[in-house]
């Protein structure tokens, strides 16, 4: 549809920066929580999303199941989206905040690759180059011993946990990219609120089952951790709302580029509040991933502008 003009220049980009800040602070609180499993944190996040979306579903009269032909896509959207959230929260808990954040920025690159495979969208040599840049960035962050030797420095905790966090972050990114491909397949035939509803409901059901299987369901004993859980839910919801508002009044290309502020905020918060200085390997990996995601966003933006001009002619 036609993008609404912003009330003032740059308002959409300001919303994007605000969204990035809220997401980063939520990630910081997640690092500060003690003895609470990432699956339980995800369950709380799903509850907040359900409480937010339910009035919207009633107001817009979308129903709770969606069109019959789209329900299977909505189910996989919910399953993959909630899986991405759980794995990302786990990565935040076991590896440096900046490292996990940087890996998530490979999502646009993997989205292009999956869209080429499943939706037959164009995949150029530039896209291949950006994919290689992203993989290089992830390797610099993971620093596998067979390439960097047995003494890997600058990680948080044991290397085993660092490797588990890296695998979780990459799998989360692939799940998130798959979710975007599914949303492209569904198109505008399903309301945005219905998509979030499936994400929250399926995520909550999956988290509850996983918690009982893992025997990890317990409220935190510390009152501070309970406050952090509530703030994570509110900040995550706020970040999602402001990102949605940004995409309503600004083109997707500039928003994708400005969203790289997530990485900047992650580095700043990690240094100020977690007393963990990033290594030069992490900085190099961050530059590779940010360049890759920004390049992908710019190419998509220029392509959409070109198509819009052709339609006007």
Cα distance between residue 278 and residue 290, in whole Å:
16
Give whole-number Cα distances, 19 to 23, 105, 243, 259, in Å: 6, 15, 6, 8
pTM comes to 0.81
pLDDT value at residue 87: 92
pLDDT value at residue 154: 63
Rounded mean pLDDT of 179-183? Answer: 82
- In sequence order, the 6+-apart residues with CB closer than 8 A to the CB of 257 are 294, 297, 298
pLDDT value at residue 2: 46
Condensed to tens digits (0 to 9), the pLDDT of residues 124-159 reads: 888 888 888 888 888 888 877 656 665 666 676 778
How is residue 194 written in tokens?
């219905």
pLDDT value at residue 114: 86
pLDDT band at 67 (very low <50, low <70, confident <90, very high): confident
pLDDT value at residue 6: 43
Give whole-number Cα distances, 128 to 109, 125, 140, 142, 296, in Å: 9, 5, 19, 21, 10
Q: Are 151 and 85 in contact (CB under 8 A)?
A: no
Q: Which of 1-15, 16-30, 38-52, 196-210 has the lowest mean pLDDT?
A: 1-15
């Amino acid at each position: 549809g036609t993008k609404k003009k912003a009330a003032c220049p740059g308002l959409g980009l300001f919303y994007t920066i605000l969204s990035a800040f809220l997401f980063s602070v939520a990630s910081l609180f997640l690092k500060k929580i003690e003895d609470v499993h990432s699956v339980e944190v995800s369950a709380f996040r799903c509850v907040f999303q359900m409480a937010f979306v339910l009035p919207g579903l009633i107001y817009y009269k979308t129903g709770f199941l969606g069109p019959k032909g789209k329900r299977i896509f909505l189910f996989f959207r919910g399953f993959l989206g909630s899986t991405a959230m759980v794995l990302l929260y786990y990565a935040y808990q076991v590896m440096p905040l900046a490292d996990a954040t940087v890996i998530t920025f490979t999502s646009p690159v993997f989205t292009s690759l999956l869209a080429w495979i499943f939706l037959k969208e164009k995949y150029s040599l530039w896209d291949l180059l950006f994919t290689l840049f992203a993989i290089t960035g992830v390797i610099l962050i993971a620093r596998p011993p067979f390439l960097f030797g047995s003494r890997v420095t600058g990680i948080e905790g044991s290397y085993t946990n660092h490797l588990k966090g890296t695998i979780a972050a990459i799998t989360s990114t692939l799940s998130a990219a798959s979710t975007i491909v599914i949303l492209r397949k569904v198109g505008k035939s399903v309301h945005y609120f219905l998509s979030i509803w499936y994400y929250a409901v399926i995520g909550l059901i999956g988290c509850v089952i996983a918690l009982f299987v893992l025997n990890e369901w317990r409220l935190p004993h510390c009152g501070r951790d309970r406050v952090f859980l509530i703030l994570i839910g509110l900040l995550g919801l706020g970040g999602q709302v402001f990102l949605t508002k940004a995409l309503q009044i600004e083109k997707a290309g500039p928003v994708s580029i400005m969203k790289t502020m997530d990485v900047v905020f992650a580095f700043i918060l990690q240094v100020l509040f977690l007393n963990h200085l990033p290594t030069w390997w992490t900085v190099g990996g961050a530059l590779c991933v940010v360049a890759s995601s920004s390049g992908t966003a710019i190419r998509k933006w220029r392509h959409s502008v070109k198509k819009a001009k052709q339609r006007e002619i």
